Amino acid sequence: MNLDAVYHLSTNPSTTVSDITSSSSVTTFLDQFAFNVIPTAVSLAGSLVYLSVHYDIYYAFVVAYGAICYLLVTFALTKKVEKSQRRTMDDWRKNNESLNDPIHSWLTVTYLGDLLSHIIRYDRSLKSLHDSEIRSSWASSQLNFAQGLIMTLWTLCTVLFAGRQVIMGGRPLGGFTSMVFFLQTLKSPIEQIFSILFVSTQSNLIHLERLVRNLHRKPEVIDKDDALSLSESSVVGRVPSLQSSENQGGGKSTLLRLIFRLYDVTRGSISVDGHNITDLTCESLRSHIGIMSGRSTISNGSVIENLRRAKPGATKEEIIDACKRASLHECIMKFSEQYEALLGKEGHRLSDGEAQRLEIARLLLKSPSILLLDEPTSALDAIAEQNVVTSLKQTNATIVMTAHRLSTIKKADQILVMYKGEISECGTHQQLFEKNGYYTRLCEAQTG
């Protein structure tokens, strides 16, 4: 969650969740290493000493030589297994994405009627996953065969040498039997150690690789070492509202993100209360800002849970008051569970207008010093829009609003008209209208 907007806006959430859940593999590896590898290695070392002292040092050499050969072959073939496992892990992620995407966006899929395309995509991902798992199984089978062959040859050498000693009269038959049995008991520890150290470890490292890479990724927006904290009293008083109006894709939403420091500006500067925002800590800056983006930020919880995200300690009375000011209270009371009603994925139980009013109620509840509003009344009727605008103005906050519906911004203290990413006009509604420029044409187009 500490990574910047560049990462989160360019990465599929399913991939991020998959990377995080795979971190459990490190616990599995540590358990195996602590409770299997270390005790088994100590036992194996003791067995080599026992062989050297009570039997013949040659047996210790045979065991050590077999372990070295086992190690070299395992190391060589594990590279091939690693490559196939990496491909399988990538296909698993793609398969999860193709499965999760239509489920998370069920309503969109239903509206567009493109379920078939998602089924085809999922079918292709399953086939790719199936092929990669076959290749991975084949690589693992080759490794297991080579390991088994070495262990068989190792056993054969020790049996032949022990049998030769019995035939030559150097060791009784009972000693031969106990020797073979003892050597056979060493096979399992050797196989277990190298299986964990190479195959299991490699698999776990592949799972952790992306997570570790993300943990080491440095966000582009970071606090300076001497960053200042924006104090509680820095942004107060009645200040002008700044609002912009422009055609689609002109950079209005990006401007709000720059103020919130989701990105840092590359040229120029943005100041709050006389401070360049890059000189302030992100936490203190954002604590004074309430933002309403053009996308739904409603979680799959109850009405009251969603509202308390803005102010965790809010009382029921404060919540009801904020909802009334946002013209939402009557809508909530229509639910049988009222404020305890579950809203569903991204608030699907609410209409667009109700969802917008809930987000406005959260802003009113938080009561920040600065409000960043991206099309805050686009889904409201004229009466609700007027009530909401009046409530927002009563917050005594600096309001930066983007709008296509010019009725929302007519009473703004200042209007900036953006065109192709640049401010082309500036002034009040009356001043801009009298200029007979781009803003005037927008007004005439909307009023007919």
For 384-411, the pLDDT digits (tens) are 667 667 777 777 778 888 777 777 777 7
What's the pLDDT at 145? Answer: 85
For 240-267, the pLDDT digits (tens) are 444 454 455 556 777 888 888 877 887 8
Q: Decide: pTM greater than 0.85.
A: no
Judged against a pLDDT cut of 60, whether residue 217 lies above it is answered with: yes
What's the pLDDT at 385? Answer: 67
3-state secondary structure the chain: CCCCHHHHHHCCHHHHHHHHHCCHHHHHHHHHHHHHHHHHHHHHHHHHHHHHHHCCHHHHHHHHHHHHHHHHHHHHHHHHHHHHHHHHHHHHHHHHHHHHHHHHCHHHHHHHCCHHHHHHHHHHHHHHHHHHHHHHHHHHHHHHHHHHHHHHHHHHHHHHHHHHHHHCCCCCHHHHHHHHHHHHHHHHHHHHHHHHHHHHHHHHHHHHHHHHHHHHCCCCCCCCCCCECCCCCCCCCCCCCEEEECCCCCCHHHHHHHHCCCCCCCCCCCEECCEEHHHECHHHHHHCEEEECCCCCCCCCEHHHHHHCCCCCCCHHHHHHHHHHCCCHHHHHCCCCHHHCECCHHHCCCCHHHHHHHHHHHHHHHCCCEEEEECCCCCCCHHHHHHHHHHHHCCCCEEEEEECCHHHCCCCCEEEEEECCEEEEEECHHHHHHHCCHHHHHHHHHHC
What's the pLDDT at 381? Answer: 66
What is the average pLDDT value for the chain, to the nearest integer? 74
What's the pLDDT at 237? Answer: 40
Judged against a pLDDT cut of 80, whether residue 149 lies above it is answered with: yes
What's the pLDDT at 238? Answer: 39
